[in-house]
Amino acid sequence: MGACRLCLVEVAGIPKLLPACTTKVREGMEVQTNSERLRKYRRMTLELLFAERNHVCAVCVANGHCELQTLAYSQGMDHVRYDYRFPKWEVDDTHPLFGMDHNRCILCSRCVRVCWHIEGAGTKNVSGRGAKARIISDLNQPWGTSDTCTKCGKCVMSCPTGALFNKGSTVGEMERDRGKLEFIVTAREKKQWIAE
Amino acid sequence: MVIDDLIEIAEKERAARKKHVVRCCMAAGCMSSDSKGVKEALEKAVKDAGLEDQVEVRGVGCMKLCCQGPLVQVDTNEPGATVEITTGNQGPLYQRVTPADAASVIGTLKGGKTTVQCGDPKDPFFTEQFSIVLANSGIVDPERIESYIAAEGYQALHHVLREMTPKDVVDEMIKCGLRGRGGAGYPTGLKWATVAKTPSLQKYVICNADEGDPGAFMDRSVLESDPHSVLEGMAIAAYAVGATQGFVYVRAEYPLAISRLQTAIKQAKQQGLLGSGIFESPFNFNIDLRIGAGAFVCGEETALMASVEGKRGAPRPRPPFPAESGLWACPTLINNVETFANVAPIVRKGADWFAGIGTEKSKGTKVFALAGKITNTGLIEVPMGTSLRKIVEVMGGGAPDGGRIKAVQTGGPSGGCIPADALDTPVDYDSLMKLGSIMGSGGMIVMDETTRMVDVARFFMEFCMDESCGKCIPCRAGTVQMHGMLTKILARQATVRDLQKLEELCEMVRSTSLCGLGQTAPNPVMSTLRFFRQEYTDLLKKDLYGGPNGNGNGEPKPAPTA
Ligand SMILES: Cc1cc2nc3c(=O)[nH]c(=O)nc-3n(C[C@H](O)[C@H](O)[C@H](O)COP(=O)(O)O)c2cc1C
Ligand code: SF4
Ligand code: SF4
Ligand code: FES
């Protein structure tokens, strides 16, 4: 993906910063992962994310189990210097099992990718562009009316924030079972489900 | 089709030439002021005057001085004279012609007089032009392949297929020194060489006609005025790199360019100049159109390819570069419209000829779309290295109504503003880069004293904010914040600390964004800050409390110089 730009690293001899997640390592490559400059950019990127939508940790289902929150702690981001945009996003609670709160979405598109590439349902998608980009279900309809959603819950497992959640969970209760996704992918790749 | 057929078409076209050719601009600029009606009226006037055997009314492409359109120019070929059909002979140039003027314009051919405003073809706007890409523009009929063939069209393709190996062609392109006209200026020959040497059963050639910069209309004009030159360039490129399928990616906002391309492709296929076994050689090449929905980011090559594949038009990290893994993971050559339009002339006249034009590192010519506060709005093509002053003051005629030029903006939302005191800068890739701007695809917007630079910066930031694809955070959220800060500055609500935050954010978005859109989005702000900083600081609110960045007496501390 190379989209979130949080894993940018400095590589000796290359003027541009490269995303570690999509850059192939080479013999003899000299990589700087934690310079002053990189730490500063990471903090700024996180501040931009927090200012972009409404991340109110104190009332969030993912509080304490959130990758965004954890990253912000680890980077020492203790306040946001940019103006909060306070956009008005809706919550989609039409699905019988899951809910989606667009206010907490960081548009990482993990839900879209698991939905297409691991579950193969193709329910989730990104629509719109720039700050107006949002995750949609099927043809931009309430998630509960989707014909393609298999209710597998993989998107919920993959979501780094409190944007996707199991219905019925309250503040701080939304723990993700990421092990399950990893198990499915590994088992498929190693063909563990195919009888000898 | 063999070469004799090609020559025969050209001969026939030349022989059919009548004594007078009345060229009427039928490109989008003039069409928007009813040049279609003018052409019909001219045809009728010819009929009424009984001059059908002497006068041809020809719909042609852009005649460059678009602001005075609809334009009509009358060529007179004295019997026996060898005035080239391909150049026109600079007869009277009628401006702002209306259908009602047609009869009197045609009347002049019978010794009558006309009161229609007549332009001066000897104006520096025309005489200082050096046409390679626009050589046929305003001369040939873009809707008839015969007209292009009569102007030596498709001879380069024949030469390449019959006399040159693909490697010869690539070498020629390296030697000529052509650099990409889509913005970044990457050497075209090197790009072709990479695609050529990447082994694959399937390769593609793409022509990037997305042209999303506000104020730019060069690529549209080339496609509307001379579509075959682009098709021929693409076919030569396909032969050189080993591709069999080409795509032209053109935005849906260019309906005329699309229809001219469709006509051109159809005619080229009928004549066997596209398709299988071109010129009875084993070379096959087809071109299809792909219509973009008009997103600026879809001009970025990886987003463009995703869009051609039918996916969401969002860029992906490079490497891998398209030359190695592009469309459907096959090696793909992607070049700009103007880049392709340069190819056939280079093959016809030789790499050395081309390398002799321009500067040491920027060869050939560049087409610019002159717009903004300038007397002559239109298209110009000049050798690389021509000074900005010559372009805007001599050719462009300076600011209208005696206004003073304040700055020239090049490169659209990815470029910067060049202040009037740097007008002597030669226009080439490297000089513009040094001034914090870029050549870009060729939009050139002239601003006069009434323009506020912070407004300009905010306009372009708003553009980038709206056009960001939203994939990566620095561009998606950073442009929103930068736009907010510029708005705050304009509302006189910002302090010196906000300005520092803005500069810091510019630097961060430039260094961390995924694609060129985000990486260059801060350029208009950074370049106006560099040359017109005073305009920003004049708008700042005084820091009354003497905080960490104030000096206690209400005067902002001088901002750090970059
Ligand atoms: C945001 C963005 C927009 C672009 N838009 C265009 C465009 O409209 N036309 C174009 O030819 N190149 C555009 N480019 C440049 C292309 O990515 C690519 O470099 C170019 O088509 C290569 O052709 P060239 O080598 O002939 O210049 C754009 C790049 C970026 C980052
Ligand atoms: S996984 Fe969660 S945060 Fe990421 S795009 Fe989907 S909903 Fe948004
Ligand atoms: S820089 Fe902007 S346009 Fe480019 S990938 Fe990032 S968000 Fe999309
Ligand atoms: S469009 Fe007619 S002169 Fe340019």
3-state secondary structure of B79: coil
Q: Which element (helix H / strand E) includes A115?
A: none
Size of interface A-B (CB pairs under 8 A): 87
What is the mean predicted confidence (pLDDT) over B251-280?
A: 96
The protein residue with its alpha carbon nearest to ligand 2, atom 2, reads: A159
Q: What fold is seen in the domain B153-354?
A: Rossmann fold (3.40.50)
- Least distant ligand from the CA of B340: 1
Residues with CB under 6 A from ligand 3: B 297, 314-315, 468-472, 475-476, 513-515, 517-518
Inform me whether the pLDDT recorded for B552 exceeds 50.
no
What is the tens place of the pLDDT at every residue in B91-101? 889 999 999 99
pLDDT at position B82, please?
Answer: 45
Indicate the residue type of A83. Answer: D
Q: Which among A5, A6, A51 has the least Cβ separation from residue B481?
A: A51
CATH placement of domain B454-537: 1.20.1440.230
Domain spans of chain B, in order of start = 18-123, 153-354, 365-443, 454-537
CATH topology of domain B365-443: Ubiquitin-like (UB roll) (3.10.20)
pLDDT at B558: 58
Local confidence band at A116 (pLDDT 50, 70, 90 cut-offs): very high
Q: In this complex, is the C-beta atom of A48 within 8 Å of any C-beta atom belonging to chain B?
A: yes
Residue B438: helix, strand or coil by DSSP?
A: coil
Confidence of residue B87 (pLDDT cuts 50, 70, 90): low
Per-residue DSSP letter, A79:
-
State pLDDT tens for residues B195-235.
Answer: 999 999 999 999 999 998 888 999 999 999 999 999 999 99
- Residues from chain B that touch A160, judged by Cβ atoms under 8 A, are none
Per-residue model confidence as pLDDT tens digits over B288-317: 999 999 899 999 999 999 999 999 999 999
Amino acid (1-letter code) at residue B163 = E
User: How many A from CA of B31 to the centre of ligand 4?
Assistant: 8
Q: Which pLDDT value is given to residue B33?
A: 94
The rounded distance, in Å, linking the Cα atoms of A80 and A189 is: 42
Whole-structure pTM value: 0.93
Instruction: Give the mean pLDDT of chain B.
Output: 92
CATH architecture of A8-190: 2-Layer Sandwich (3.30)
Residue ranges of the alpha helices (H) in B177-290? 188-197, 218-225, 227-241, 255-270
For chain A, the structural domain boundaries read: 8-190
CATH 3.30.420.10 fits B18-123, yes or no: no
pLDDT at B169: 98
Contact B4, B38 (CB under 8 A): no
Residue B191 Cα: closest atom of ligand 1: 25
Instruction: Give dist(CA B424, CA B411) in Å, integer.
Output: 18
Instruction: Report the residue of B325, B469, B476, B479 to disrupt the A interface, i.e. the one with the largest count of A CBs within 10 Å.
Output: B476
